[in-house]
Amino acid sequence: MHQGGRPTKKVAVITDSVACLNRELAEKYEIGIIPINFYAGGKIYRDWVDITPTEAYKLFLEDPDSFNSSAASPAECLEAFKKAGLTAPKVLCITLSVKLSTLYNAALDAVELARQELPGITIEVMDSLQATPSEGMIALAAARAVAEGKDLPDVIRAAEKVRDSVKSIILLDTIRHVYRSGRIPKLASMVGSALNIRPILTVSGAVHFIGMVHSRKQGIERILMMMKDRVGDRPVRVAVTHAYALEEAEKLKARIAAEFNCVEIWLSEFSPVMGYACGTGTVGIAFYTDNSV
């Protein structure tokens, strides 16, 4: 946003589409999104740009084996930096965990390219150590600090504070596609699927298995119990996400709103870039306690 041809904010915040922000929040807080590429049916799509998650999951269900993903290139990151540089003299780019993607390194390469192409623009790249809405919450914290008029060091501190406390818990509806993550063999995925095993995952640097259940109802109770153990009655910010399971996600959101002391709660769609390894029917939550309330 400009006034008289000059940027009106000190810092522009960028993240990637795996942060699972919804468009309303991204637009409200002027958060730039680097789209991650994925392949489906022999075509390349840019997540967030060319196709909605719902449309992507329809393609996935038609032909799961044709689905794959690849990180954005340094050139694509540079393009996002150029756009952000029009709105602010400093840029903070928050990426999904370097243990899950090469995007962080691509963004660092783009910073080197920007030294020549974007003189006068300061760019910092932060590894969120996360993915899914837990990454989005870190970007939101940074963007809110920008809205308060904070400069880059304080914006980074705001993001780091949430990065140190945010938790994510993801319930898969099937283990069938998890072999795509490289964490278990395909045969084990097939056997687990036949036994109706539903993994519970969390993201902390990498993706970690923290439990398994045999029904969605059991899984929802388990993840809510985990959340309760962590936050108790303290004020909490929450995001609920889903992969082609809107009705279940809306029910989960309503239940969390009723059972927890929510300062904020929002709903988004699970990025198909990660959904290709998790499968449709996935629901998840991300949350952190807000000590400022």
Task: Give the model confidence (pLDDT) of 162-186 as tens digits.
Answer: 999 999 999 998 765 454 455 554 5
pLDDT over threshold 90, residue 152: yes
Q: Which tens digit of pLDDT belongs to each residue from 236-288?
A: 999 999 999 999 999 999 999 999 999 999 999 999 888 777 788 899 999 99
**262 and 208 share one domain:** yes
CA separation for the pair 253, 287 (Å, rounded): 12
Final residue before a domain boundary, out of 101, 129, 163:
163
Answer yes or no: are the C-beta atoms of 207 and 183 closer than 8 Å. yes
Distance CA 228, CA 216 (A): 18
Pair (250, 125) in one structural domain: no
DSSP state of 19: G
Residue 48 to residue 277: CA distance in whole angstroms: 18
Last residue of a domain, one of 163, 180, 200: 163
Q: How far apart are CA 118 and CA 112, in angstroms?
A: 10
Residue 120: domain span: 2-36+71-163
Looking at the structure, do residues 18 and 159 belong to the same domain, yes or no? yes
Q: Give the containing element (helix H, strand E) for 75.
A: helix 74-85
Q: Residue 242: CB partners within 8 Å, gap ≥ 6? A: 248, 249, 267, 269, 270, 282, 283, 284
Contact 80, 14 (CB under 8 A): yes
54 inside domain: no
Any idea what the CATH number is for the domain that residue 173 is in? 3.30.1180.10
Q: Does the residue 156 lie in any domain?
A: yes
DSSP 3-state assignment of 265?
Answer: strand
How far is Cα 283 from Cα 216, in angstroms, rounded to an integer? 9
- Same structural domain for residues 212 and 283? yes
Whether residues 200 and 238 share a domain: the answer is yes
- Which amino acid is residue 252, in one-letter code? L
Instruction: Give the CB-side neighbour count of residue 27, counting CA atoms within 13 A.
Output: 4
**Can you tell me whether residue 97 is helix, strand or coil?**
coil
- pLDDT surpasses 90 at 1: no
C-beta separation of 230 from 238 below 8 A: no
Number of helical H runs and strand E runs in the chain: 10, 15
The closest of 169, 136, 183 to 282, measured between CA atoms, is: 169
The C-alpha atoms of residue 37 and residue 50 are separated, in whole angstroms, by 10
Share of residues in the chain with pLDDT > 70 (%): 89
Region 88-92 average pLDDT = 98
- Residue closest to 67 by CA, chosen among 76, 75, 78, 55: 55
Please check whether residues 32 and 158 belong to one and the same domain: yes
What CATH number is given to the structural domain containing 151? 3.40.50.10440
58 lies in some domain = no
Q: Which helix (H) or strand (E) holds 68?
A: strand 68-70
Greatest pairwise CA separation for the chain in angstroms: 63
Higher pLDDT, 160 or 58: 160
Question: Helices 133-147 and 152-163 sit at what angle, rounded to 10 degrees?
Answer: 150
Last residue of a domain, one of 145, 163, 181: 163
- Domains of the chain: total: 2
Report pLDDT digits (tens) over 173-229: 876 545 445 555 453 444 344 446 788 989 988 888 888 898 999 999 999 999 999
29 and 147 co-located in one domain? yes
116: its two tokens:
């020549």
Q: How confident is the model at residue 292 (pLDDT cuts 50, 70, 90)?
A: low
Together in a domain, 148 and 184: no
Q: Of 219, 96, 244, 98, which is closest to residue 169 (Cα–Cα)?
A: 219
Residues 117 and 152 grouped into a single domain: yes
